[in-house]
Amino acid sequence: MAKRAKRRPAKKTRRASRKSRSRFLSIVWLLTKIGVVLALIAAVPIGFYFVALDRQITETFEGRRWSLPARVFAAPLELHAGAPLNVDDFIIELLRLGYQRGDPSMPGRFRDHNEAVEVTLRPFVFPDGPRRAITIDVSFRRGQIGHIEAKTGAIASIRLEPPVVGSFFTSHGEDRAVVSPSETPILLIETLKAVEDRNFDSHPGFDLRGIARAAWQNFKAGAITQGGSTLTQQLVTSYYLSRERTMTRKLRELAMAIILEWRYSKTELMNAYINEIHLGQHGVRAIHGFGLGALYYFNKPLAELDAHEIALLVTVIRGTTYYNPYRNPERALARRDRILGTMHEFELIDALELETALENDLDVVTSRRGGRYYPAFMDLVRRQLRRDYDQETLAEEGLRIFTTLDPRLQDLAQLAATVTMKALETERGIDAGSLQVAIVIRRSQTGDVLAIVGGRDGGAQGFNRALNARRQVGSLIKPLVYLEALETKRFHLTSELLDEPLTLADYDNWSPRNFDEDFRGPIPLIRALGDSLNVPTVRLGIDVGIDAIADRVVELTDHEPVRYPSLVLGTVELTPLEVSNIYAVFAGGGFLPNVNTVTDILDSASRERARYELRVNQVAEYAPIEALNTALQAAMARGTGRQSPHARSGAAGKTGTTTGNRDSWFAGYDGDQLSVVWIGRDDNTPHGLSGGVGAMRVWNRIMRDVDAAPLTAGEGMTTIDYRTGRRVPSHCPEAVRVALPDGVDPPRSDCS
């Protein structure tokens, strides 16, 4: 009985257990159904979220991939037999473009030997058509190009590709030089995978193994040496998200990465990454993409980078500040070498290539990061383009803008400005850094702008004095007075003017004075202009009419002056660029050219978008202009410009000084180029420099390294004595050759 009593509870226990299991399964089934229902309910908003996210990603990704800043190019250097260029200057131009010494069978490489250079020029699409890569041999002789040879024979002329001198990036400062997959080195792509994302080819946008591997490596190193984000996740962060470290942002990044991987191929994603990733900061300019990174750090195209240079760019990805090769070179070098080791580990480079790469320094350029940028010149380019293009077009459509800038001349002008300012301040006891300078250089015959200096610090953005500083021009205005007189045909260069005391009762008894407070009596017109005498100039101005002179100022500068006799002494305020318009008429034989900086614009597919033709307007007859030019040549040789080492080079020029020596001016031109130079202080206080002592000295420095092209002299020139205006033999010490009207025969005289 006892045993049976023990069995009865066991049956109840088994029945209870079955009931419990049944009840549990019922609960599980119920919860499962509830879970399914909840999942279905949740799927609706999640689905809408993913659809909205997909639309946002697609629209932004597609738009951003083709948002390209306009790229601005200088004028190309033309090579031809007889061109004034020596072998050293040619090599400097190649280095400016990022060419390297090496095997010249490769584009972007050259080899120099004696007075010759063998170089393979890169392919380039010019406005008039493409040029394929070509190997040429250029020989030099006595400071000129002797001949140019290619494999097919002699070449009459050929152009170097123009350097990039600016760009129109977006308002938030992003700049990039987009490269296609075919322009991207395989070594870069494989290095990115090896260092940043080893499972890039197979993962769906995220990589759990990569996250685990990075965590383990960071644990072993005791610091963050690797990241767990895939290249796709990094691309999402750069495109769409902030860098805040929150779970919400990370989940959003993950979702976006999955959508990108679903929508686009691995090739498209890698190319987007290569063109998007942030690689540095240069002032307000953000360097994005490896295309621009190669130019910024090494001044050469991405396709020409060596292994150690690719490794450095990949180094910078991890932290553009932390691994900045300019600020933290030792830190950047150490990581670069580790990446080179990884490249060897993954058999991307062999042992010899690794050894060679490790021997290289960082080799980053220090003076031309991403091409030489010229803010002052770019200001004028923007002013011209503003008439035809909006900012969005310039920042997004990938236009290629070709300009008239001469980089070599621009560098010479900036150097002359900087060096001369320091020298003048030191020599004359002027407060260091107080002098400012502006320079405008234009082509004499066409008016094309070749160089602009907006201040003594040429690389800095800021107030552009060449375009915006209005200052009294002093005696630079006087040639306009004499042109008006010559145009009346009542005056010529030997006409007699009176340099005697003058008081103008109709103008508050104003009594003009000469600079030296002296009077010379009757003098020829050419001397009055060449010696920049005030009193005879005022007499002449009143004779021809102040209104006529004022109208000419308006015609040439679009600036209305005060119509008072002091106008003829330069009380009108003009910018250096406006002054260059006046002298462009003299240099151009009576034609006023448009202020031109842009020649051609191509679209992103290298199709012609616009061509800017030369436009000129004849505003003066040639005969009086020719006479004026010979007078200004005499002003250099015998007058206020006689102290210049280039006084007898055949150039024409005029100095200008304002009351109290507040402004120092010089305008000079020859058959090739016209220069206007201004020196002063921003607060308009006196500095004690006349035009001949200050501004002309800057011009002298520029012309020291430029081959002068004398103004073309017409037929029928007459030799006269500069002081008396009489006809004299050419060997006389004060003899000058001038243009006189037909029928004018000055009295003859021997040398006095």
Two structure tokens written together for 488:
């009346």
Given the residues 475, 644, 664, 675, select the one marked as catalytic.
Answer: 475
| Single-letter amino acid, residue 687 | H
Other C-beta atoms within 10 Å of 573: how many? Answer: 16
351-363 confidence digits (pLDDT tens): 999 999 999 999 9
Sequence-distant (≥ 6) Cβ neighbours of residue 477 within 8 angstroms = 553, 567, 568, 569, 570, 572, 582, 656
Exposure class string for 41-58: b at 16+ Cβ within 10 A, else e: eeeeeeeeeeeebbeebe
Give the whole-angstrom CA distance, residue 9 versus residue 5: 8
From the list 386, 377, 387, the residue with the least C-alpha distance to 448 is: 377
Contact call for residues 688 and 430 (beta carbons, < 8 A): yes
Two structure tokens written together for 36:
């399914």
Two structure tokens written together for 513:
């004075």
Given the residues 118, 196, 487, 626, select the one marked as catalytic.
Answer: 196
pLDDT score, position 154: 93
Least confident of 88-102, 215-229, 711-725: 215-229
Residue with tokens 């226990």: 13
Give the rounded distance of the alpha carbon of 717 from its chain centre.
43
Other C-beta atoms within 10 Å of 689: how many? Answer: 22
Q: What is the mean pLDDT of residues 193-220?
A: 78
Cα torsion 703, 704, 708, 711 to 10°: value is 50
Burial class (CB in 10 A: 0-12, 13-18, 19+), 218: middle
Quick check: 43 pLDDT over 80?
no
Q: How many CA atoms lie within 13 A of 565 on its CB side?
A: 23
pLDDT score, position 173: 75
Exposure class string for 429-461: b at 16+ Cβ within 10 A, else e: ebeeeebbbbbbbbbbbbbbbbbbbbbbebeee
Give the whole-angstrom CA distance, residue 507 versus residue 569: 15
pLDDT score, position 2: 46
For helices 2-65 and 247-263, give the axis angle rounded to 10 degrees: 70
Burial class (CB in 10 A: 0-12, 13-18, 19+), 130: exposed
Give the whole-angstrom CA distance, residue 531 versus residue 526: 8
129-155 confidence digits (pLDDT tens): 999 999 999 999 999 999 999 988 999
Give the whole-angstrom CA distance, residue 431 versus residue 682: 13
Q: Does the annotation mark 566 as catalytic?
A: no
Q: Does the annotation mark 196 as catalytic?
A: yes
* Angle at the Cα of 478 from the Cα atoms of 476 and 480, rounded to 5 degrees: 105
Quick check: 243 pLDDT over 80?
no
525-538 confidence digits (pLDDT tens): 999 999 999 999 99
Give the whole-angstrom CA distance, residue 569 versus residue 511: 13
- Quickly state the pLDDT bin for 51 (edges 50, 70, 90): low
pLDDT score, position 284: 77
Give the whole-angstrom CA distance, residue 69 versus residue 735: 57
From the list 100, 275, 265, 98, the residue with the least C-alpha distance to 183 is: 275
Quick check: 36 pLDDT over 60?
no
Helices of type H across 240-328: 247-263, 266-276, 289-298, 307-317
Report CA-CA distances (Å) from 269 to 252, 320, 547. Answer: 18, 22, 68
Quick check: 586 pLDDT over 50?
yes
Give the whole-angstrom CA distance, residue 714 versus residue 283: 52
Task: Compute the mean pLDDT over every residue in the chain, rounded to the nearest whole number.
Answer: 88
Quick check: 215 pLDDT over 70?
no
Q: Are strands 153-154 and 109-113 parallel, antiparallel or unpaired?
A: unpaired
pLDDT score, position 21: 61
From the list 662, 668, 671, the residue with the least C-alpha distance to 641 is: 668
Other C-beta atoms within 10 Å of 614: how many? Answer: 14
Report the run of H or E that residue 168 belongs to, with start and end: strand 164-168
Least confident of 60-69, 258-267, 375-384, 419-428: 60-69
Residue 78 zone, left/alpha/beta (φ > 0; ψ -120 to 50; rest):
beta
pLDDT score, position 370: 46
Give the whole-angstrom CA distance, residue 418 versus residue 420: 6
Instruction: Identify the three-state secondary structure at position 452.
Output: strand
| pTM, rounded to two decimals | 0.85
Quick check: 40 pLDDT over 50?
no
Give the whole-angstrom CA distance, residue 276 versus residue 263: 18
Considering 77-81, 275-279, 284-288, 704-708, the range whose residues carry the highest mean pLDDT is: 77-81
Give the whole-angstrom CA distance, residue 64 versus residue 58: 10
